[in-house]
Amino acid sequence: MSNHPETCFACGEGHYQKVIEDYRLDLPEGETLTVPKLLVLRCDKCGEDIIPPESSRRIETSVDQYQDTLSPAAVRSFLEQFQIDQTEAAEALGMGGKTLHRWARGTQRVSRSMGYFLRALMAHPAVFEWIRDRNWRRGEGTARRARRRLPHRVPQSEGEGTEVISEETRDEDNCKGCG
């Protein structure tokens, strides 16, 4: 990319200039990652940055390396190893089906802790079999089980529909912005 004559999206006055700098990034676990000599486009009026696509990819790669991110291919290997589909895996692991789908497609990064967890399950298949055989998410129609799993979510006036709402809410916990 060469010139960026577009007007700044933020202030509507300035224009973007190429800047190469060490780019500092806050990670969810409270750590900071620096991507050295990254190209960003910065408004010469208000200082607003935009990150060009190739720089975004460099940031993604750096975060994956730093966090030992489990790759989408490894997530699919996990499903193949246990011969389960995404729905079954999500149920066994107690997570939303959409999240697993996004992991397998690579549209959402596997968190570091879940990456370690899945690696451990692949290395010790008996542990996954044990989790799956527990059927934790089955039979959640009983209020007793729901209360034990979600102690802070069950409201005072709990009814038949309460647990169902909680389950749906948990599936929607992903960030609306990044998915």
Residues at the interface with Zn ion (CB under 5 A):
8, 10-11, 14, 43, 45-46, 48
User: In angstroms, rounded to a whole number, what is the distance separating the alpha carbons of residues 34 and 176?
Assistant: 26
Q: How far is the CB of 35 from Zn ion (least distance, A)?
A: 23
CA angle in degrees (0–180, nearest 5) for 116-120-122: 120
Q: How far is the CB of 51 from Zn ion (least distance, A)?
A: 15
Q: 3-class DSSP state for residue 134?
A: helix
Q: How far is the CB of 82 from Zn ion (least distance, A)?
A: 51
- Pair of tokens at residue 112: 């570091």
Of residues 13 and 173, the one with the C-beta less far from Zn ion: 13
Q: How far is the CB of 49 from Zn ion (least distance, A)?
A: 10
Of residues 43 and 104, the one with the C-beta less far from Zn ion: 43
List C-alpha distances in Å: 29 to 25, 56, 89, 178: 12, 20, 25, 17
Secondary structure (H, E, C), 52-100: CHHHHHHHHHHHHHHHCCCCHHHHHHHHHHHCCCHHHHHHHHCCCHHHH
Of residues 10 and 33, the one with the C-beta less far from Zn ion: 10
Of residues 9 and 130, the one with the C-beta less far from Zn ion: 9
